[in-house]
Amino acid sequence: MRWIITGAAGMLGTDLVRLLNERDDDVLALTRDAVDITDPASVDELADADVVVNCAAYTAVDAAEEDEASAFAVNAVGPQLLARKAREIGARFVHISTDYVFAGDSESPYGEYGPLAPASAYGRTKAAGEWGVRAETEDYLIVRTAWLYGEHGSCFPKTMARLSDKHPELSVVTDEIGQPTWTADLADLIVRLIDAAAPAGIYHGTSSGQTNWHGFTKEIMTAYGKDPDIVGETTAATFNRPAPRPAYSVLGHDTLDAIGVAPIGDWKQRWQEAAPAVLADL
């Protein structure tokens, strides 16, 4: 299997490339220096792949509020160019999307084909990317994820561990609910989808179950050897952030169930597995 990975130096891209190399697959790992996905001439050089996976994105959620055009270029134009190129070279196209495409005010898990209603600039650009991909190729797998953490790059568990070294107590929000998801597990799911010749469509690549940031932080402290009781409660209203965060980000896994591909598994069990690697290098 010949793979092309864009955004290969990102948190997810790094884990995906590592997994594919461990399998001895044929991998072309493209960082931003090698291929800028917003540049048609750069994307046009892609060739000889069975699968193209786009891990590149503009992920600065707050900065996107001030510069939606830049976010749109990376999150919407880039994926559309890549999807078109993938179709031209006869490759399947895997694109990573986000819970931010939904309104975030549901009380039950979002379905894969539920209505998109993004509340932020980042969410709007990612939703546009999904439509751009679907317009360009029939052979797409859109894999939405959320609450990602990983070994490579900054992420919530590393931030909270660092903060706990500086402060005796932490205050963490209870009114945002989601599914903490390990990039290594998402990489594994992407590979399992391709191995299973999954039908084109939308899949949700998140852990199962749900928690809030407060509950997740208690588990982070336990894994970091700290007392989980140092984690106090607060609400999102106390943080004045430019981009609204979804209050409810739980994604359902019906399409994975329908095709017989196992979802990632329970968030707490997966965190306990991931923690030694993720917290090894703060």
Ligand X SMILES: NC(=O)c1ccc[n+]([C@@H]2O[C@H](COP(=O)([O-])OP(=O)(O)OC[C@H]3O[C@@H](n4cnc5c(N)ncnc54)[C@H](OP(=O)(O)O)[C@@H]3O)[C@@H](O)[C@H]2O)c1
Closer residue to ligand X, CB minimum distance, 74 or 127: 74
**33/86 Cα distance (integer angstroms):** 20
**280/137 Cα distance (integer angstroms):** 40
Q: Which of 122, 140, 149, 224 is catalytic?
A: 122
Closer residue to ligand X, CB minimum distance, 12 or 279: 12
For this structure, is 113 an active site residue? Answer: no
Cβ atoms of residues 55 and 96 within 8 Å = yes
Residues pairing with 93 in the sheet = 52, 140
Closer residue to ligand X, CB minimum distance, 76 or 221: 76
Residues 6+ apart with CB under 8 A from 67: none
Report the nearest approach of ligand X to the CB of residue 145 (Å).
5
Cβ atoms of residues 174 and 212 within 8 Å = yes
Interface residue list for ligand X (CB under 6 A): 6-7, 9-13, 32, 36-38, 55-59, 74, 78, 96, 98, 126, 145-148, 153
Report the nearest approach of ligand X to the CB of residue 229 (Å).
27
Report the nearest approach of ligand X to the CB of residue 273 (Å).
18
Q: Select the residue whose beta carbon is closest to ligand X and give its number.
A: 10
**162/253 Cα distance (integer angstroms):** 33
Cβ atoms of residues 213 and 176 within 8 Å = yes
Report the nearest approach of ligand X to the CB of residue 47 (Å).
17
The residues annotated with a catalytic role in the active site are 122
